[in-house]
C-alpha cells in the first residue's frame, strides 16, 4: 500500500519511513520546513496526483494556518526547478528574498546544470523515502508565553482548494496533528476550536493529549516542536494501529 505524507518539519521529522516499511507500507514523505497549505497544494498537484497513493496523510497544525508561507516557498525554490506554478507562488509573496531566490535558482539551473544540490544538516541523517533522523537528544523544558494564532486568509483558501481537489480522486485523506511538546501545545489558545473545525473537514487525528500515547516532554522530544527518535518510534507504531482501524 502506498502512503504519502505532506506537511511541515513535523512530517519529515515525525514519520519514519523505516517503521512504515515494516508494516508493508511504501511511503513517500514530501514534508518541508514550515510547509503551509499553499506549498502542500503545489506538491499535491505536482507529485501526489502522478503517484496516486492509496492514502495521503496531511500533517496540519494551527501554526501553519497563521503563516504567510515564505520560508517554505524559499525552501522549495532553492531545491527544485522553478516551474510556472512555483514561480507564481514566489511572486505572490512580494518579497525580495523570494524574487532573488527565483532568479538565483534559475541561473544555477542554466549555468550549472550538472551541479548536484547536496543538503548537509548537522546531527541529521537522511533516510530513504524522505524521513530525517535527528541525533538523539532530550528537551530541556522552559516556559512559553500564551500564543493566539490568527488564520491567514490565503492559507484557508489553499486548504479549501486542496480538499476540493482530493475529493475528486480516489485517494483517502487523513488529517493529522502530530505530537509536539505539551508545554508548546498548551501555549496555543484555541486548540479546541481548531480541532472542531478540522473534524468537519474529514478524517482527523490530533495526537496531542492522546490516550495511550503517553509521550513525555523531557523523554520523547529534542526541542519544543519535534520528537526524538524514541518519541517517533512510539508515535509511528501507535499511528499505524490507527491506520488499520480506520
- Kindly state the DSSP code that residue 123 receives in the 8-state scheme: T
Grid coordinates representing 135 are 541525533
Q: What is the pLDDT of residues 181-224, one digit of tens each?
A: 999 999 999 999 999 999 999 999 999 988 889 999 999 999 99
* DSSP letter string, 60-84: --GGGGTS--HHHHHHHHHHS---H
pLDDT for the residue numbered 117: 45
H or E element, residue 133:
strand 131-134
pLDDT for the residue numbered 49: 86
Q: What is the pLDDT of residues 124-176, one digit of tens each?
A: 999 999 999 999 999 999 989 999 988 899 999 999 999 999 999 999 999 99
pLDDT of 108 over the 70 cut: no
Of 104 and 33, the structure prediction assigns the larger pLDDT to 33
Fold classification of 2-245 is Rossmann fold (3.40.50)
pLDDT for the residue numbered 118: 43
Interior angle at CA 25, CA 21 and CA 31, nearest 5: 85
Task: Tabulate helix, strand, coil % of the chain (nearest 5).
Answer: 45, 15, 40
pLDDT of 113 over the 60 cut: no
Rounded mean pLDDT of 231-244? 95
pLDDT for the residue numbered 121: 54
Average pLDDT over the chain, rounded to whole? 88
Amino acid at each position: 500500500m502506498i502512503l504519502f505524507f505532506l506537511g511541515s518539519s513535523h512530517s519529515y521529522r515525525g514519520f519514519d519511513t523505516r517503521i512504515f516499511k515494516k508494516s508493508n507500507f511504501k511511503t513517500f514523505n514530501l514534508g518541508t520546513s514550515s510547509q503551509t497549505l499553499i506549498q502542500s497544494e503545489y506538491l499535491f498537484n505536482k507529485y501526489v496526483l502522478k503517484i496516486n497513493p492509496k492514502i495521503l496523510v496531511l500533517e496540519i497544525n494551527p501554526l501553519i494556518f497563521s503563516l504567510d508561507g515564505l520560508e517554505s516557498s524559499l525552501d522549495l525554490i532553492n531545491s527544485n526547478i522553478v516551474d510556472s506554478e512555483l514561480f507564481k507562488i514566489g511572486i505572490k509573496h512580494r518579497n525580495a528574498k523570494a524574487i532573488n531566490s527565483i532568479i538565483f535558482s534559475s541561473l544555477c539551473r542554466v549555468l550549472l546544470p550538472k551541479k548536484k544540490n547536496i543538503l548537509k544538516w548537522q546531527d541529521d541523517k537522511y533516510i530513504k523515502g524522505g524521513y530525517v533522523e535527528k541525533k538523539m537528544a532530550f528537551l530541556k523544558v522552559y516556559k512559553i508565553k500564551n500564543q493566539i494564532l490568527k488564520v491567514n486568509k490565503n492559507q484557508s483558501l489553499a486548504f479549501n482548494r486542496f480538499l476540493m481537489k482530493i475529493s475528486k480522486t480516489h485517494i483517502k485523506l487523513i488529517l493529522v496533528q502530530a505530537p509536539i511538546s505539551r508545554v508548546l501545545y498548551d501555549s496555543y489558545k484555541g486548540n479546541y476550536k481548531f480541532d472542531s473545525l478540522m473534524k468537519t473537514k474529514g478524517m482527523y487525528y490530533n495526537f496531542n493529549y492522546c490516550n495511550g500515547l503517553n509521550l513525555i516532554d523531557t523523554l520523547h522530544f529534542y526541542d519544543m516542536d519535534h520528537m526524538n527518535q524514541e518519541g517517533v518510534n512510539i508515535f509511528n507504531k501507535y499511528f499505524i494501529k490507527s491506520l488499520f482501524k480506520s
